[in-house]
Amino acid sequence: MNPARNLILVGPMGAGKTCIGRLLAEHYRLRLLDADHEIERHTGTTIARIFECEGEAGFRSRERAMLETLLGDDDLLLATGGGAVLDPLNRALLRARGFVVHLRISPAQQLERLRDDRSRPLLARPDREAVLRQMAGVRDPLYAEVADLAFDTGSLTAGEAARRLQHELDLHWQRNGATA
């Protein structure tokens, strides 16, 4: 049992990190932070614009710095960006600073959930399904590497997923003496 004071959600885009995170943060009385939203708030621009101006490498550098800042605190629920696990330093930081839950979803389920979403720079390509499958091939082992718990969200609504995940967390996560 990982006695971390923070709960961290990792997983691919569309897995429900922000929506499920909101419900879990309320239940556990944690402060919800979404890493991508915090980057946008801090920079005053969108993730898409950062990708456009600085490329993925520039965005990943900003993401690393933001994760270091955010995870300096305790008693938070952090919803990471889907690619946060690509950086080995991020993976070490996530493992060290929280109980990490990998929200799993298949590329086909992602495609369905993201069919109308045009805000994601890495999906601004003609063959979105191929992109999602390629990203899953690279990222899924990294999510598994950092995760204390894996949970499938693909066939569940955010509310159903949060209720079921809450049960799993009650069994596997102890907030270092804090009460939930």
Domains of the chain listed by start with CATH number: 7-172 (3.40.50.300)
Percent of the chain with pLDDT over 70: 91
> What value does the mean pLDDT take over residues 68-75?
96
The predicted-structure confidence for 31-40, as pLDDT tens digits, reads as follows 999 999 999 9
> What value does the mean pLDDT take over residues 162-180?
81
Residue 16 is assigned to a ligand binding site: yes
How confident is the model at residue 3, as a pLDDT?
67
Confidence band for 179, pLDDT divided at 50, 70 and 90: very low
How confident is the model at residue 131, as a pLDDT?
87
Q: Is the pLDDT of residue 141 over 70?
A: yes
How confident is the model at residue 58, as a pLDDT?
94
Residue 158 is assigned to a ligand binding site: no
Please name which of 1, 14, 7, 8 lies closest in space to residue 105, comparing C-alpha atoms.
Answer: 14
Asked if 64 and 89 count as a contact pair (C-beta separation under 8 A), the reply is yes
Q: Is the pLDDT of residue 119 over 70?
A: no
> What value does the mean pLDDT take over residues 139-166?
96
> What value does the mean pLDDT take over residues 11-17?
93
The predicted-structure confidence for 83-108, as pLDDT tens digits, reads as follows 999 999 999 999 999 999 999 999 98
Residue 11 is assigned to a ligand binding site: no
Q: Is 74 exposed, middle or buried (0-12, 13-18, 19+ CB in 10 A)?
A: middle
Residue 17 is assigned to a ligand binding site: yes
The SS3 of residue 117 is coil
Residue 72 is assigned to a ligand binding site: no
User: What is the residue-averaged pLDDT of the chain?
Assistant: 91
Residue 36 is assigned to a ligand binding site: yes
Residue 116 is assigned to a ligand binding site: no
Dihedral in degrees, nearest 10, Cα atoms 40, 46, 47, 51: -130
The SS3 of residue 93 is helix
How confident is the model at residue 2, as a pLDDT?
66
How many degrees, rounded to 5, is the angle at CA 62 between CA 58 and CA 65?
Answer: 140
Q: Which residue has the higher pLDDT, 149 or 154?
A: 149
Residue 154 is assigned to a ligand binding site: no
How confident is the model at residue 160, as a pLDDT?
96
Residue 18 is assigned to a ligand binding site: yes
